[in-house]
Structure 1
Amino acid sequence: MALTGALLLTSAPVASADYVRDQQWMMDVYSMPETWGETKGEGVTVAVIDTGVDGSHPDLAGQVLKGKDFTGGGNPQEDQAGHGTGMASLIAARGHGSGNADGMMGIAPKSKIMPLRVLKSESDRLLDEDWGAAVRYAVDNGAKVINLSVANETGKTISAGREAIAYAQANDVVVVASSGNEAGAVGYPAALPGVIAVSAVDKNGEFWDGSGAGKEVTLAAPGVDVLSANPVNPKGYDISTGTSDSAAVVSGTAALVRAKYPDLTAGQVANRLIKSASFLGQKGLKAPDDKYGYGVVRPNKAVTMDISKGPEAGPLGKVPAEATSKAGGTGAGEDDGTSESGNSSSSSNLPIVIGGAVAVVIVIGVIFAVLRGRRS
């Protein structure tokens, strides 16, 4: 089991507010200020099951709840790896300074983050029992969305993980997970029925070929050259590539939908995310596509389109409550192509390597501009 986000972390000098906001190309192509006129995710708690979340980061001030540590007596608001804080910032960062004009913004800046720490560092191992316990805690303590930017790519999750996902689904909680970063099959828990499995695309809406792909993919979202908060970096931010980032974007969008439409079930939230997604002009694709699923998530359309509720169970199904699965293969997989944390599921351990630098090019793709939606 491995973290899936910071595939390629750069130490680009993040020196000014203008620079930080300029790097957030998603805010432009997603027309987020317009979307926030509809909702900012108020009243919704998103559980981030990860390396902890540093609530002292200025862009997350007041956004991080108490949470819980599952690593053995640690602090859920301590993040030695930076990964969990990055995911939380993509979901709920609210900027800082006068008028919150400095720093970065998340997709749902009035949602709250429940930090559930299941890893401390890159060399830690992650057991299904640990993240499964975190899922149950999230459900029992009011989370409406759970973000799992981790994946086991070499074997199926064991019963503890499956049963925890089934518990979340039985209690009307949206579960979002990254598809993986090893360019192979979709990892677990993303591959479980009912989980919103997310692959990554770049600024132009092109599929990132490091993403896990397969029939289990539900949606794609931005995951290439994505800026996020990182308390480990002296500058406070990093730019990364991986499906961890794309999963967090979808979790933030789910928070917007839950805030705007509080009467929808988790399944109906998934239905709205799916029905409002788009292939962005990609030719010859038929939903669900192994790479894009039902398309690239579009936050603005997810909260503004006229979409029928659909069945309460939604289109994705659920994990059978009684279902269990043997721990297949080694049980360790890396959803992080070259991410930042190594973990293992159940029986094995796979270290994560923080990759080399990538050039940052702020170019808004013509195709991705479809995300703004055409005005008739």
Structure 2
Amino acid sequence: MFQPCIFPFALVLTMPLLLGGCLTIREQPPIEPDPFNTPEYQAQKGLAVIKASRLYARGGTGQGVTVALIDSGLNTDLPEFEGRVFDPGFDHVENRPGTHDRVGHGTQMAGILAANKDEQGMHGIAFNAQLIPYRFGDDNEPFFFDDEIALSWQDGFDKGARILSNSWANAIPATEITEARYNQVMPKSLVTARKLVKDGAVMVFPTGNELKREPLAEPGLPVALPELEKGWIAVVALKNDGSAINAKSNYCGVAAAWCIAVPGGDSGAGQGLLTTGKDGKHVQTAGTSPATALVSGALAALQSRYPHLNAQQIREHLLATTNRTGIYANSEAYGRGLMDLDAASRTPPKVQVY
């Protein structure tokens, strides 16, 4: 005859075991560690917010994808960029192939984008991608260097880059830009941008760091020239934890339809995103510039996940898979929402064929 098992209450609490056939606790399978959640990954605080490790686990590391970096150059001999330079690019300041980064901005952006995964400091979001660096103008206004920018875009495209990272913008508000006015300011760049977008390029720009509700000229340019939109992304910068726009960033504003939000570092000592300095040391940076580099690298990493898609199809898919819940539903501020690389790498792309 079956006899019920009776145990003192305390014994039941302290013995989650097989007890005379009366209590069975199924053994749970071990939780698989995330091989990409390394100290380097954690040191680059923006990566976890946009769930980059899920993209890496699905093969999206930037392998085989080239990005043109139009900035203050790149010190290519640093260990963080060993094997990451597809072509030496061009230095328009010194008028020679290869670049020297005097101010350090371009090297910092390159670190955010593609610094090596080498167990040192941090790594770029697309740590297997390739770069083509260009130097123009250093600290001066971009409109003084229209020729150099246009030449850099075209040369990068001719050498295989379909993603062009531009962590700069002219200070004219996008709401004041017309085709005629931009043609006065950046005539050669305008011609080149139209041509390259038609041929499949994607241009990435920051909304700017003026704490305004509208972006600057370049990120908002498709307002005046709608044919550019299919090859355009504007980027707004969030705090490190993604909880709100950071203390520098302009809103997406009129660029909301092609704007995306990612961490761009917080203001204050030690509060920025970790990246590579011009001398090889790791430094902090904050603003819409590093946010732009983060998105450019994300496009490269995602394209290596979906190599059958072109750059503009990747752009469309990235914008279609953002997180638009909670605060990110405010399109004036956050555009299409928070970049979500888990969703982008998990959801089969539904894209148009251009």
Q: Note whether the superposition's TM-score is higher than 0.5.
A: yes
Per the alignment, residue 235 of structure 2 pairs with 198
8 Å Cα contact 1:55/1:62 also seen in 2:
no
Per the alignment, residue 177 of structure 1 pairs with 205
Q: Among residues 290, 299, 303, which one is paired with 1:254 in the alignment? A: 299
SS where residue 210 of structure 1 aligns? coil
Listed one character per residue, the Cα deviations across residues 212-245 of structure 1 (whole Å, up to 9, x for unaligned) are 221214101110121111124xx71221211001
Alignment of 1:1-376 (within 5 A): 22-38=42-58, 39-64=60-85, 65-74=87-96, 76-95=98-117, 100-119=118-137, 121-122=138-139, 126-154=144-172, 156=177, 157=182, 158-184=186-212, 185-193=214-222, 194=229, 195-205=232-242, 206-213=244-251, 214-217=253-256, 218-224=259-265, 225-232=272-279, 236-282=281-327, 285-286=329-330, 289-309=331-351, 311-313=352-354
- 1:170 and 1:123 mapped to 2: Cα distance? 29
- Report the CA distance between 1:35 and its aligned residue: 2.0
8 Å Cα contact 2:141/2:170 also seen in 1:
no
- 1:19 and 1:236 mapped to 2: Cα distance? 17
8 Å Cα contact 2:40/2:123 also seen in 1:
no
- Give 5+ residue unaligned stretches, structure 2: 1-37, 223-228, 266-271
- Report the CA distance between 1:128 and its aligned residue: 2.0
- Report the CA distance between 1:29 and its aligned residue: 3.2
- Give 5+ residue unaligned stretches, structure 1: 1-17, 314-376
AA paired with 1:190? P
- 1:191 and 1:89 mapped to 2: Cα distance? 26
Which structure 1 residue ranges, 4+ long, deviate > 6 Å from structure 2? none
- 2:77 and 2:254 mapped to 1: Cα distance? 40
Listed one character per residue, the Cα deviations across residues 134-155 of structure 1 (whole Å, up to 9, x for unaligned) are 1111111110210000011226
AA paired with 2:245? F
- 1:77 and 1:159 mapped to 2: Cα distance? 25
AA paired with 1:33? S
AA paired with 2:195? Y
Instruction: Check 1:280–1:209 CA distance in 2 against 1; reply closer, same or farther (3 A cut).
Output: farther
Per the alignment, residue 356 of structure 1 pairs with none
- 1:236 and 1:220 mapped to 2: Cα distance? 28
Structure with greater helix percent: 2
RMSD between superposed Cα atoms in Å: 2.2
Per the alignment, residue 338 of structure 1 pairs with none
- 2:65 and 2:98 mapped to 1: Cα distance? 19
Which structure is higher in RCO with an 8 Å CA cutoff and minimum separation 6? 1
- 1:19 and 1:231 mapped to 2: Cα distance? 22
- Report the CA distance between 1:306 and its aligned residue: 2.5
AA paired with 1:36? Y
8 Å Cα contact 2:234/2:260 also seen in 1:
yes
Instruction: Check 1:209–1:27 CA distance in 2 against 1; reply closer, same or farther (3 A cut).
Output: closer
SS where residue 105 of structure 1 aligns? coil
8 Å Cα contact 2:50/2:262 also seen in 1:
no
8 Å Cα contact 1:211/1:242 also seen in 2:
yes
- 1:299 and 1:88 mapped to 2: Cα distance? 20
The count of aligned residue pairs is 285
8 Å Cα contact 2:71/2:134 also seen in 1:
yes
